[in-house]
Copies of this chain bind each other. A is one copy, B any other.
Amino acid sequence: MLNEEKRDITSNKIVKVAHSLFMEFGYKAVSTREIADVCGLTQPTLYHHFKNKKALYLEVLRTELYEMQIALERIIRRYDDLEQCLYQVTYYILINKPSSISQMFRDIEIEMEDQHRKQIKKWWIDAYQAPIASIFEKGIKEAKLRNPAEFGTFPVPSAYLLLNLISTKGPEQGQSEKHAKEQAKLYTRVLLYGMSFPEIRD
């Protein structure tokens, strides 16, 4: 095996393992030794591949957010119907991000320095905010959604409404594969149509 390949393989494995650990337990709660152990490596080896723990976390975020951006843009391109599109996006995030978004926010806010935060924010906007906001923007243009000026549902805040619904995991909500479909359906329906009886809206 070439050294170049070897390096890539190891680096990718580290990033992959670090990703799952960081997202589940948070930046501070995961030690570099834990990551190395799961990878079958010794801890100093991580420092051969990444400058320090923060650099590794940054790389985790970069790959994570880039993959999400590609996936969401593909879904949005594929589905033209507003409700269908929202459902697919919601389902994809539910399946692929088991409760990692809020953890991410905290770690970015607390553990990262300003210089990195700006870079991460850019990645975040490209990956989540912009794609999802574009769905709502289209819905508004096509007059399928309420007047944002009256209801406060501008594209970007609307994107966060959806993301908030998705991202927090309650103390007893497991995320099975079929349950995710039901949840995605519920989220999109409530977001679009609300919980009240349509007949008695004043």
Query: Does any Cβ of B come within 8 Å of A176's Cβ?
Result: no
> Which of B105, B145, B197 touches A144 (beta carbons < 8 Å)?
B197
Q: Given A153-B186, A160-B173, A189-B151, do A102 and B168 touch, yes or no (CB 8 Å)? A: yes
Cβ-defined contact, B157 with A164, below 8 A: no
Question: How many chain copies does the complex carry?
Answer: 2
Cβ–Cβ < 8 Å partners of A153 in chain B: 186, 190, 195
Interface of A is mostly: helix
Cβ–Cβ < 8 Å partners of A48 in chain B: none
Cβ-defined contact, A168 with B173, below 8 A: no
Cβ–Cβ < 8 Å partners of A172 in chain B: 121
Query: Does any Cβ of B come within 8 Å of A49's Cβ?
Result: no
Stretch at the interface among A11-19, A22-30, A52-60, A72-80: A22-30
Q: In angstroms, how far is the closest chain B Cβ from the Cβ of A201?
A: 6
Query: Does any Cβ of B come within 8 Å of A116's Cβ?
Result: no
Q: In angstroms, how far is the closest chain B Cβ from the Cβ of A164?
A: 4
Cβ–Cβ < 8 Å partners of A152 in chain B: 182, 185-186, 189
Cβ-defined contact, B106 with A26, below 8 A: yes
Cβ–Cβ < 8 Å partners of A164 in chain B: 164-168, 170
**Binary CB contact string for chain A from 151 to 162 against chain B (1 if under 8 A, 0 otherwise):** 111000110110
